[in-house]
Structure 1
């Protein structure tokens, strides 16, 4: 059930006919009591979309992935710098798993294929406005297939890194932000020994700095 409170929406779509169809569909939902939708802006490019979102801060963004200027994935990424608190629902003609995965990874709350909009848009909007992810069966299948592929790649990479128990302890403290002196104190070893362990960790992770080591450790699930 969609909230009865007004839902402000920005449409980002570079095909005028499809955008007009979305307006008609949203008006139909409003007239049938599903919700009160207010389209507060329309854009056909990334820059225009970002300006509108910054000004209007809509509850919902309906976003196409291919725009006349810019693209939807970059738009999703740049939304983070605007502190956008609303939800993003992608409406796309792309059925390929890579597009779906990248959109969800970039922060979309749902993904609807354009040829399914007439039957799925209402449910999709209700779902994302309730802070839930919307993926129809035909989309979720390809998404999770690629998700499992990426997960297995990460697992395989992590299994290829063999840290000693002491190195794992040093890495744990490194991720927590501890200095060499603090790590030495916590593990009852010398600072020189900490540095030696860090050198070995960096070599095994194939990184050159503490920051890179922390990022890679978290990415590979080597620490919490």
Structure 2
């Protein structure tokens, strides 16, 4: 007598400003419920960045299906906020864009996978299984584009670091600055004094040609000097 397969329960948060699209996702998930040993339960629907973050904090979903273009709130910013919550949610981006830059920015900002909306019918279930297994999902085509873009920006960043003559310690300070750390927090992370942190920041500002922390963060991200975490 065979043993019944274990049913896997997965809570899902849907984030898209198009109600019809969210309904379509509901229909797909219900179909998966009847054809696989996986049960998806939608615990919330959000149409804005603020709603998405609030529901994620309240529901702690195992899976977040996130659109990159919300009527209120930037998709990348939303993705970064969700990733920072550290809820152990897997974030799968569903987007109408397949351009290299969109995929690259989403993956850098903390996405666990990226699926083009036109390919949902053929790729969504595999993508969900992949990210729930703590792996990254990109279709072969998107993966190729992503790594091509990664190599391009990595090369740019290397050239920028050489051109700016950033020291290893300055790169470490810049990393923590981009993460939003205060001078005191940077000092604690790097085991140096606050006065030393301030000295490094002054040198970094001069090399970047900026006058504030915000300007330094924006320029560092644009130049690919640091990434998100």
Return the TM-score normalized by structure 2. 0.72
What are the within-5 Å matches in structure 2 for residues 1-224 of structure 1? 4-160=7-163, 176-179=190-193
Q: Secondary structure at the match of 2:73?
A: coil
Distance 1:8 1:156, change over 3 A: same
Please give the alpha-carbon distance, in whole angstroms, between the structure 2 residues aligned to 1:170 and 1:143. 28
Please give the alpha-carbon distance, in whole angstroms, between the structure 1 residues aligned to 2:225 and 2:157. 6
- Kept in 1: contact 2:92–2:113 (CA 8 A): yes
Q: Which runs of 5+ in 1 are unaligned?
A: 183-194
Of structures 1 and 2, the larger Rg is shown by 1
Q: Which runs of 5+ in 2 are unaligned?
A: 1-5, 173-186
Count of aligned positions: 199
Distance 1:200 1:101, change over 3 A: closer
Using the TM superposition, give the Cα deviation of residue 170 of structure 1 relative to its aligned residue in structure 2, in angstroms.
Answer: 10
Using the TM superposition, give the Cα deviation of residue 169 of structure 1 relative to its aligned residue in structure 2, in angstroms.
Answer: 9.0
Deviation per residue, 1:73-99 (Å, 9 max, x gap):
111122245332211000000111111
Equivalence for 1:188:
none
What is the RMSD of the two structures over their aligned residues, measured on CA atoms?
3.5
- Kept in 1: contact 2:8–2:37 (CA 8 A): no
